[in-house]
């Protein structure tokens, strides 16, 4: 009973953190654009980190994913907590065709060999899904505005 409570709290916390932002379905091998909030003294801006997701770790609220890119011939990896409020948005750019869950072998490969074949069908499907979701959201927003306008009258 005691441990059920802790799990419940964690679940509620995840729901609270995940509400208001959409986390797309993605896996290792996908190319992502991760929008993170960066705070500078008084202003806040969004920084985008684009690269290949090489690992996903699923562990409730501790879930994280690793994104790797090569910048000026230096490999850079960033580990993002999936539910962190600092991660503003995750954008799926491409879906990759890979045969591993963790792509740590990319660290030992360079340039052409480090490429990942794109799964064109999957990318297309994901983009359609995303656009549909955006449409429905727009409709919802429109309806809401109409309703508020009506109630205002």
Partner 1 sequence: MRTGVIAQKLGMTRLFDEVGAHVPVTVLKLDNCRVLAVKTDEKDGYNAVQLGYGERKDKHTNKPQLIAHQKAGTKPAEKVKEFRVSGDSILNVGDVLSVAHFEKGAFVDVQGTSIGKGFAGPMRRWNFRGLEASHGVLKAHRSHGSTGQRQDPGKTFKGKKMAGHWGNETVTVQNLKVIEIDTENNLLFVKGAVPGAKKSFVFIKDSEKKTAKK
Binds partner 1 by CB under 8 A, chosen from 33, 84, 91, 118: 84
Q: Residue 44, Cα to own-chain centre: how many angstroms? A: 20
Only segment of 46-54, 81-89, 93-101, 112-120 that touches partner 1 (CB under 8 A): 81-89
Work out whether 86 is an interface residue with partner 1 (CB under 8 A).
Answer: yes
Only segment of 45-53, 65-73, 80-88, 96-104 that touches partner 1 (CB under 8 A): 80-88
Strand order in the sheet with 31-40: 74-81, 64-71, 43-57, 31-40, 87-94
Binds partner 1 by CB under 8 A, chosen from 27, 37, 69, 94: 37
Can you tell me the distance from the alpha carbon of 91 to that of 86, in angstroms, rounded to the nearest whole number? 15
Please, how many CA atoms are within 13 Å of residue 97, restricted to the half-sphere of its CB? 6
Work out whether 81 is an interface residue with partner 1 (CB under 8 A).
Answer: yes
Can you tell me the distance from the alpha carbon of 49 to that of 120, in angstroms, rounded to the nearest whole number? 22
Which burial class, exposed, middle or buried, applies to 93 when counting CB atoms under 10 A from its CB (0-12, 13-18, 19+)?
Answer: middle
Work out whether 10 is an interface residue with partner 1 (CB under 8 A).
Answer: yes
Between 61 and 122, name the residue whose CB sits nearer to partner 1: 61
Work out whether 2 is an interface residue with partner 1 (CB under 8 A).
Answer: yes
Can you tell me the distance from the alpha carbon of 36 to that of 117, in angstroms, rounded to the nearest whole number? 27
Between 15 and 85, name the residue whose CB sits nearer to partner 1: 85
Q: Which residues bind partner 1 (CB under 8 A)?
A: 2-3, 5-6, 9-10, 13, 17, 37, 39, 61-62, 81, 83-86
């Amino acid at each position: 009973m005691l441990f059920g409570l802790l799990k419940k709290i964690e679940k509620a916390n995840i729901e609270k953190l995940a509400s208001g932002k959409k986390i797309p379905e993605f896996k290792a091998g996908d190319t992502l654009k991760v929008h993170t909030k960066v705070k500078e003294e008084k202003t806040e801006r969004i920084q985008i980190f684009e690269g290949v997701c090489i690992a996903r770790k699923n562990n409730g609220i501790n879930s994280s994913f690793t994104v790797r890119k090569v910048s000026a011939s230096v490999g850079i990896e960033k580990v993002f907590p999936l539910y962190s409020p600092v991660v503003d948005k995750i954008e799926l750019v491409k879906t990759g065709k890979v045969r591993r869950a963790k792509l740590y072998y990319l660290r030992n490969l360079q340039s052409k060999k480090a490429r990942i074949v794109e799964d064109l069908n999957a990318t297309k499907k994901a983009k359609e899904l995303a656009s549909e979701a955006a449409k429905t959201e727009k409709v919802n927003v429109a309806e809401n505005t109409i309703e508020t306008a009506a109630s205002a009258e």
